[in-house]
Homo-oligomer: A and B are copies of this chain.
Amino acid sequence: MKDSSMRGRGRPLNPVLTQRKIAGAAVSLIQSGGYRALTMAALARQLGVSASALYNHVGSKRDIMILVQDRVNQEIDCSAFDAQDWDVALERWARSYREVYARNIPLIPVMAVLPVANSPHTLAMYEKVAAGLTRAGWPRSWVVNTIVAVESLVFGSAYDAVAPDNIFDPGELSEAAPMFSAAVAHRDLSLDSRRRSPGPHGAGAETAASPADVAFDVGLRSLLAGFRVHLDALRAQEPGITSGGSDLE
């Protein structure tokens, strides 16, 4: 990726065009028109600059996506890893992560497969997660797979967060699927209030639980309970591992 210090000699510095502004404009384009709406020409138009001025800062669409990745991931709150037990921190991180990508659905197919190299804020986030898990006694070899498992649930759940509430309505075929139809009709839509922490933005950010919120809650709590089972099994084998203050079940 070209740095502003690398631009051609003698070209005037355009004070308007920063990597942050480029990333912001790219996010806007993708949010309104999907990933294909992001072209160098459209981005230059959105920024009110010439295409050549844009190429002065970024060499390709891939460079732009790395800027976008880093800008979007910066919104994910991973601060709980500084002070909380690993499972509380992992849960808060996952909730914030889903919330950010539910607002950025068209980015998911790209971000889910984009390498993290050259993304300083993204790496800072992963460093915080990795450090928190390692401090809590997680084997180093488990850390990346744990992160991937949480992210996979998060990306899938972000889609569900924007699905229509009637997505499982069997319609005219309900008689052909009686057990499923009964399960849909009796779906648990209550969110355990103890799990609804106000989150990083304070109580004001709390919204009513949707079916997708409840399903994500079930999935995330189950995943965390499973992680505890595996960590406990490991500790039983190797009692020297300390918990780092986590109160595991």
Contacts and interface: CB of A to CB of B under 8 A. Distances in A.
A225 B119 CA distance: 34
Interface string A198-231: 0000000000000010111011011111110110
Give the copy number: 2
A142 interface: yes
Interface residues of A, number: 81
A201 to B, nearest CB: 23
Nearest to A178: B127
What secondary structure prevails in chain A residues at the interface with B? helix
Contacts of A113: 159-160, 162-164, 167
B223 A183 contact: no
Interface of A: 34, 36, 105-106, 108-109, 112-120, 123-124, 126-127, 129-131, 134, 139-146, 148-157, 159-160, 162-164, 166-173, 176-180, 182-184, 186-188, 212, 214-216, 218-219, 221-227, 229-230, 249
